[in-house]
Each structure stands twice: as structure tokens, then as C-alpha cells.
Structure 1
Amino acid sequence: MKTFNFIIGVISFVALSFTGNNAFAQLTLPRVSQQASVSQKVGITTITINYSRPSVKGREIWGKLVPYGMKNLGFGTAKESPWRAGADENTTISFSDDVSIEGKPIKAGIYGLHIVAYENSDATIIFSNNSTAWGSFFYNPKEDALRVNVKTKPINNEELLTYDFSKVTPTSTTVSLKWSTKEIPFKIEVPVTKIVMNNIRKELQNSPGFSNQSWIQAANFALNNGGDLNKALDWINKAISGQFYSKKTATNLLIKSRILAKMGEQDASIKILDEASSMANKRQLNAMGYQMLNQKQNDLALKFFKLNVKNNPSDPNCYDSLGEAYKIIGNKKNAIKNLKKALSLNPPANVKANSEKLLRELGVKI
């Protein structure tokens, strides 16, 4: 009798185990629609899409499996639902910084991604503040963060639903959903310079701020990417003499000169360049000479090129650059003299080719 009661007790325990807290536990098995994630950086901004990938499997997709327009799905709280833009849970898209989609701004964050396709080539992309719902069954238009209208494109059959970043530029990307015979693209634009400038301000208050090179990089970025020139000047001044890690070098003086020139302060820019010339290496002096040629400061350009020849009397490239400068300003005699000198010093192939080209242009037979 005790043995029978023990067996009954074991059976009851096993039964309770399957009807208690673990009643909805499931095995981990492969999904029919595989999960996927794609990501792209634009500048320092990360864009990520998480979705499930259904297959066509010979079915008619557009207008059938994915109905045109909004539809009552017969379940959940939504009276009308868009397509979930994938399978199973919400398709989500996230932005690590504020961006614009089809010209409309949207804040950094994670959004549920939904699509309304129409029978013509129109579609509406919906970015919902609700990113944790299951599909579109609980879609609420009041939770929309943004809607944009786009045009679809016909494509050859794409068996697996696919998201990719079909175009990428330094400040934008185009996301394309491709499935069956239709592509639905939308453009994301990123204010890269603004984001990077804000990030630099923060990073300079942390460990990167204890490196002279960080302040130089910050000023150089602002100079070359349309950033705030006043801030760029402040940063390069700190790199030169503003902080305990500062050090005056030809490199940071050259950057300061370029910043001042871009701000329209030509006299101050030239004064800084003149100071930098005493510290500049061969490459830097060459760059300074060409910078002055571009600014039509021919006398100063010649000064820098001649100083480079004086400092490096056996370097053919220095003579080649001086000869080119004379050619540009119209002094044929001295141009030929220095270009021939460059060729006499057994120059590397690129310098030889440039000197010979310039001499031919001056009417000299090679």
C-alpha cells in the first residue's frame, strides 16, 4: 500500500510540474522565419535593423500575403493594422543619434517598423514608439513617432525577405526592404559634423583631453568638415599653448594658419605660417609653398620653396616643386633651371615624370 501511494505521489508531482509555472515553457527549436540583424555606421552613428525573414515559397506576396492598405487582422486590439515589415515579433530599427528619414527628423532610439503597401508604387513607412509588441496586432497610430511616404521599385524575385543598406555616403544611407518582386527603399540622413562636434566636446573632458594630439585632431576635424571655426581655433590654441600638455609645433601652427585663412584673417594666417617655417620639415614646407601659391601669395610661396631647397640641397623633389612654382608665376628661366636640376639628382619615377612633363610644357625637348 505504501509503494502504491509513493507511485501516485510521483505521478502527481510530474503532472503538477507541467501545469504549474512551467506550463508555457518551450524548447529552443529553429524558427520557420529565421531571425536576422543588419547594421550600418554613418559617421559615428549606428543604425540597426532586427527582423525575421520569411520566404516566398511560391506564394503571392503583394496584395495577398501582405495585403494592400491597412487591414483588420482579427486579433489583438488594433482595428486596422499595417504590415509588420517582417515576420513574428516587431521588426525594429534603432538609431544611436538623432537622424532624418526622407527629410523628416526622428530622435535617437528604438522603433517598431511597419509598412503600408499600396497597389500602385506607393508605400508608407511607419516608425512606432512601441517597439516591443508582437507584430502589428496591437498597433496604435497614437504611438507613431514618424510616417514617411516612399516609392517602391520592381525587382527580380527575392526569395528571402531582406533588409540591406543599398547606398552609403559619408552623411547618409538608403535602407531597402526587398522581398518577392518589390523593393521598398527609404533614405536616412545623419548630421555627422554636428554629432561628431558634440561628441568631441564630451571626449575632450575625459581621458582623450589629456593628449595634445586629441586637440589637434579636434581642430582639424572642425576645419575640414564645416564645423565651428571659432571652436576649432580655440582647440588649436589649446594644443599650442593653452594647457599643460601643449606644445608649439609646425603641425599645429599650420592648422591654425589654415583656420585663420578660412575665417578671412589672411594677414594673421601668413604671420603664423612664417613662424611655422622655422620648425617645418621637408614635407610641411612643400605643403606651405603650395598653400601660398593657391592663395596667390607668390613671394611667400617662393620663400618656402627656396628654404626647402636650402635645407635639403640634394633632394630632387624640392627642386621640382621650386621649378613648378616658378613656372606657375611665369618665370620660365628659373623654372627650367630648377626642373633640370631635379632631373640631374636621379629622382624617383613620380618626380622625374612631373619634371619632364613641366619641361615639355615649357618647350624644352627631353
Structure 2
Amino acid sequence: MNYNRKFLGMLALSLISFAGLAQLSTPPGGGSQRSYVRQHIGGVGTVAIEYSSPGARGRTIYGAVVPYGFNNLGFGLSSADNPSPWRAGADQNTTFTFSHAMKIEGKEIPAGTYGFFVAPAQDGPWTVIFSKDNNHWGSFFYKEENDALRVEVAAEDASVHEWLTFEFIDRTNTSTTVALIWGDKKLPVKIELADPVEAHMTQLTAELNNQLGFSFQNYVAAARYASSVGEHDQALQWADAAISGPFVGQKNWGTMSTKAAVLTAAGQADEAQTVMDEAIKLPGANAGAIHQYGRQLIAAGKADKALEIFKYNQKTNEGAWPTNYGLARGYSAVGNYKQALKYLKLAKANIPAGDTLNGPIIDQNIEKLEKGEDIN
């Protein structure tokens, strides 16, 4: 008798121990299966959604399987005083994980992982909820006080979808729209980086502080991006690092012209011109690159300086294409159409083989100069 009691006790302990083990990976029984989707936003941000996907199985979904509004589910914390939204999936919480601060339908939410809930409406917009609670079963333990964000979103009619699915249906450089699709409805939710510039600047800084920072080309790329979004001080630091940074800096046409572009964007045109006067004498400053610099000077209203650069280009590169064309533009910019016509005809005579674009344009410009018209 004592032996039997001892045996039964050991058996009970064994059953308890086995009950705590993870389940074997036996084939699924046909119910809701866990699913996962992930989308990049703007090259730096990500949205990851994990959910269980139930099937419609011929049932009426909204107003039946999924009741409208908030409801007393009769379990957990759900009650008449604390009604619950729909779990927006099945089984464990559906979760959204944001790598960066985002805007959901225009409202900001910090980076993190959130439980996702929905309160469908028979008429009008649906309530979409991102909750700080993200590790519960369904919405039985939902608490409104733990909402991180609520937005109202209009649902749309859709072709019947058997399996509940989240799909990224629209993407731009800084945003995406994810749609919950199930049954005959689609619920599109717009998600965008809250501060794309800050996100990219943080990412670039982190990368340059790591292995990618051992390349002057990467500092050039970072400086040009920072300059394009108005981060002039940081852009100048990165431009200087590309030129003279320890181990990686190189003074050449590419790095110096980048610094000049950064200075120009920051409103320091005189400093930029000083840098470019040195850049055109450095490796990489070929005839085409110098020609483009001259054209930029004309566009900036600096015709005399442009002509000086075109003369330097023609002399240094011994009349190679497109130096004569540059002189034609330079003389035209200062109103000397006779000299411009002379060099434009020289340019026509040495158009590179296979170039079918410049010939007709030069012919048109010759006609303009003969009429006393500027060709720039």
C-alpha cells in the first residue's frame, strides 16, 4: 500500500514535469497558424507583425465571429465595466514591433513592441489600438489604461479573403500602409517614420563609427546626404573627415568638390570657391568634371569666374572634349558671341565618336550665336 502511494506520487510529479515541457512539433491540426511579416521603411526603419491567422471557413466574420465594438468576453479582465476589443487575429496577442518612433495615421508612437487590437464598427470608422500589453492571450486581459495609441481608420470592402492576413499594400521612401484583410473587409493603416532625417542621421553616424567608417567614399556619401537635409555642421565634419580623417582621408577631386558643395549649401559661397580652385588641380578632376563646375558657376551668375575655369580646362586638357564647348559657353555668358562661335565650331569638329546627342544641339546653338543670342 505504501509502495503504491509512493509510486502514484512519483507518477504525479512526472506528469507535472512533462506538462511543463515544450510541445512536440507535430503537424498542425488545421487551426490558426502563427504568421510573421516584416517591412523596411526608408532604408532604416522596420515594422514587424506577428499574429495568428484564422480561417473564415464559410462563416460570417464581422458582426458574428468578430462582434462590433467593445464586448464583455466573460473571461480574464473582460467584463461589462471593462469591455474588450477584438484581438485582431487569434490566440496570442497580435504584435507590432517598430524599430524607430513612427506615426500611425499621423499620430506619433515610440519605438517598441505593442499589442494590436481593433474594435470594428458596423458603420463609420474602426478603432485601432496599440497597447503596451503585448504578451497576453487574446484580448481577455485588455486594459484601456495601457493604450499607447488609438486612431480611427475607415475599413474598406474587399474581395473575400479566407485567411486573416496582414499585407503591406503601399510603400514610399518614408512610409508604408499595412492592411488587415479578412473576410470581405480590408483595414488599411498608414505607418511612417516619425522623423526620417533623424533616423537616417543616427543610422549614418552608427555606421561610420563602425567598419563602414574606414572609407572616405562613405564619408562623402554621408556628407552629401546631411547637406541635402540641412544638417550643414555635421555635413562639413564628414566632408572634412573624407579629406583628412585619420587612416581614411584623401584629398582629391571627389572629396574636395563634396566639401565645396556642402559649403555652398550652407551659404558659404566664397569658401566653396576657394576649395574648388584647389580641387580642379587634384586627381580625378578630368575635363568633364571641370566643365560641369564651369556650368555651375554660370548658373550661379558668376560668368567671369566661369570663363576663367573654362580657359583653364581647355589649356590643361589640351582641347579635349568638351573643353572647347565650355569656352563657347563661357564667352557666350560674358556676351562675346564672336569668340563663343569660334570655339563652338571647334567643339563640333571634335564631338566623340558615337555621340549622336551633341551634334544637333551644337547646330542649334550656332544659329543662336549667329543671331546674337546666349547659348546658356
TM-score norm. by structure 1 comes to: 0.85
Look up the match of 2:75. Answer: 75
The superposition leaves residues 288-337 of structure 1 with CA deviations (integer Å, 9 ceiling, x where unpaired) of 12322321222333333443333444644444555456667766555554
1:141/1:264 Cα in 2 relative to 1: closer, same or farther (>3 Å)? same
Structure 1 regions of 5+ residues with no counterpart? 1-5
Look up the match of 2:291. Answer: 286
Shift of 1:178: 1.7
Structure 2 regions of 5+ residues with no counterpart? 369-376
- Match status 1:147 vs 2:128: no
Shift of 1:273: 1.4
Look up the match of 2:308. Answer: 303
Shift of 1:239: 2.8
Look up the match of 1:269. Answer: 272
The superposition leaves residues 259-297 of structure 1 with CA deviations (integer Å, 9 ceiling, x where unpaired) of 211122222222221121111223421331232232122
1:89/1:273 Cα in 2 relative to 1: closer, same or farther (>3 Å)? same
Look up the match of 1:125. Answer: 128
In 2: Cα distance, 1:188 partner to 1:330 partner: 54
Look up the match of 2:37. Answer: 38
In 2: Cα distance, 1:294 partner to 1:133 partner: 63
1:155/1:334 Cα in 2 relative to 1: closer, same or farther (>3 Å)? farther
Partner of 1:157, secondary structure, is strand
Shift of 1:81: 1.1
Shift of 1:255: 1.4
Q: 2:262 aligns with which of 235, 259, 262?
A: 259
**Equivalence map 1:80-229=2 (5 Å):** 80-190=83-193, 191-224=195-228, 226-229=229-232
Look up the match of 1:61. Answer: 61
Q: Is the 8 A contact 2:304 2:334 kept in 1?
A: no
Q: Which amino acid aligns with 2:47?
A: I
Q: Is the 8 A contact 1:320 1:355 kept in 2?
A: no
Q: Which amino acid aligns with 1:77?
A: L
Look up the match of 1:3. Answer: none
The superposition leaves residues 149-198 of structure 1 with CA deviations (integer Å, 9 ceiling, x where unpaired) of 12222222222222122221111111221222222112222122111212
Shift of 1:110: 0.8
Shift of 1:348: 4.8
After superposition, the CA RMSD in angstroms is 3.1
In 1: Cα distance, 2:218 partner to 2:131 partner: 39
The superposition leaves residues 5-52 of structure 1 with CA deviations (integer Å, 9 ceiling, x where unpaired) of x9x99x979965873322366442325223221111123111111112
- Match status 1:345 vs 2:350: yes
Partner of 2:258, secondary structure, is helix
In 2: Cα distance, 1:230 partner to 1:56 partner: 56
Q: Is the 8 A contact 1:89 1:133 kept in 2?
A: yes
TM-score norm. by structure 2 comes to: 0.83
Q: Is the 8 A contact 1:253 1:273 kept in 2?
A: yes
Q: Is the 8 A contact 2:181 2:187 kept in 1?
A: yes
